[in-house]
Amino acid sequence: CRTADLGPISLNWFEELSSEAPP
Amino acid sequence: TEITDLPARDSLNPGSLQLVSKFKNPSSSCSVDVSAVWWERAAAKEPCIITACEDVVSLWKPLDTLQWEKVHTWHFTEVPVLQIVPVPDVYNLICVALGNLEIREIRALLCSSGDESEKQVLLKSGNIKAVLGLTKRRLVSSIGTFCNQQVQIMTFAEDGGSKDEQLLMPPDETILAFAEVQGMQDALLGTTTVNNIVIWNLKTGQLLKKVHIDDSYQASVCHRAYSEMGLLFVVLSHPCAKESQVFGSPVFQLLVINPKTAQSVGILLCCLPPGQAGRFLEGDVKDHVAAAVLTSGTIAVWDLLLGHCTAVLPPASDQSWSLVKWSGTDSHLLAGQKDGNVFIYRY
């Protein structure tokens, strides 16, 4: 898999998206 | 009590499928689904088979001799059964979706604790677009289309009794299917009619992200997802894919998504081995194995880690396959035919 095509990866994506998304 | 045919144990099938047991559901209506669930009888949990025909759903318990005995039946006289909806971690309860072309009702099937008589309870009604049973005794359903859509999680008690309800934020796009994320119990995926994958937080009900996927294959359906190293690996099927000369007909695709950036790349296309033809008709994915019934009437199995087709099961007894499900109780594959024949294979 060419992970470079996918942009920066975060192991904590679920928590980060939950804090950014509208409640 | 009906007792089924004697099972055959010594038949070897192509690839890595070995016939363990078979039986016939003697219902007169068309067989529509099959599933394997845990059911508790006399304080012991048993791995049972559920079969669904248009007008009757039956529970079969195993006998010592690898035969199956029908122990409960639920009858449906008004609206036909479309599919079985297993709810993991709930014992003595199975859900079914009823309707004609589209789902109109979801019902819970159970037995009363006193006299063991069969009961059914209406859980949802309306224009139901998608439904899925989730771990931790949850059932997710979407009712309505576009802006008038309601996405709801229902949580059952361990005995299938009292329940709690919670709404998820709708995506303003009609949902085609839901998929659980293995390794992340609070995440849920959905595919929509405009080729987006949406990601929810099941605890808060938030819609976290919309990811647009390649438009090469319209109406892709998500079956399962895996969370690994900050990425989501999603198994999609392509019921509308046209055959190409290079790849044949793509049946499943493994897609990797970076949820942070909403970028995605296809990493594995599961195509038919040479000499096989057909498109995806219906299928099931469990752990790293994906099985599909093809329009040719054949069943094909792919190992997603090895990246290739590992078994092809041609029609048996001159009858096409119409159903394929992985057992929820062991590593068996359930294969069904329209006339009620169910074959159980060890994979």
Pair B169, B200: CB distance under 8 Å: yes
**pLDDT (tens digit per residue) in B309-343:** 999 999 988 899 999 999 988 889 999 999 999 99
Residue B168 near residue B205 (C-beta atoms within 8 A):
yes
- Two structure tokens written together for B156: 């059952």
3-state secondary structure of B17: coil
Q: Closest Cα of chain A to B87: distance in Å?
A: 25
Contacts of B263 in chain A (CB under 8 A): 5-7
B114: left (phi over 0), alpha (psi -120 to 50) or beta: alpha
Residue whose structure tokens are 């639920």: B74
Helices then strands, each counted (H, E), chain B: 0, 27
In Å, how far is A12's CA from the nearest CA of chain B? 7
Chain B residues close to A16, C-beta within 8 Å: 260
Q: Which residue in the set A5, A9, A22 is minimally distant from B260, CB to CB?
A: A9
Which pLDDT value is given to residue B33? Answer: 97
Q: Which residues of B touch A1 (CB under 8 A)?
A: 256, 265, 267
Averaged pLDDT, groups of 10, chain B, 347 residues long: 39 68 86 92 86 95 87 95 94 94 95 84 96 96 90 88 89 95 95 96 97 85 95 92 68 95 93 87 95 94 92 90 92 93 93
Closest residue of chain B to A20, computed from CA coordinates: B208
Q: To which residue do tokens 């970028």 refer? A: B263
pLDDT score at B246: 62
Q: Of B38, B166, B52, which is closest to residue B93 (Cα–Cα)?
A: B38
User: What was the pLDDT predicted at B9?
Assistant: 37
- B48 within 8 A of B39, measured Cβ to Cβ: yes
| Beta-carbon separation of B260 and A13 below 8 A | yes
CA distance B265 to chain A (A): 7
**Chain A residues closer than 8 Å to B204 by CB:** 18, 23
CB contact under 8 A, A13 and B265: no
Residues 1-23 of A with CB under 8 A from B: 1-3, 5-14, 16-18, 21-23
- DSSP output for B110-165: EE-TTT--EEEEEEEEEEEEEEEEETTTEEEEEESSGGG-EEEEEEE-TTS-SEEE
| Chain A residues lying within 8 Å of B259, measured CB to CB | 13-14, 17
Q: Which residue has the tokens 């669904």?
A: B52
Indicate the residue of B169, B186, B259 with minimum beta-carbon distance to A13.
Answer: B259
Looking at CA atoms only, how far is residue B202 from chain A in angstroms? 11
Which pLDDT value is given to residue B148? 87
Q: Which residues of A touch B209 (CB under 8 A)?
A: 17, 21
Which element (helix H / strand E) includes B254? strand B250-258
pLDDT of res. A3? 61
Measured between CA atoms, how close is B258 to chain A, in angstroms?
6
Q: Mutating which of B226, B260, B267, B304 best tests the A interface, going by the most A Cβ atoms within 10 A?
A: B260
A and B: number of Cβ contacts within 8 A: 64
Query: A4 or B149: whose pLDDT is higher?
Result: B149
Distance from CA of B262 to the nearest CA of A (A): 8
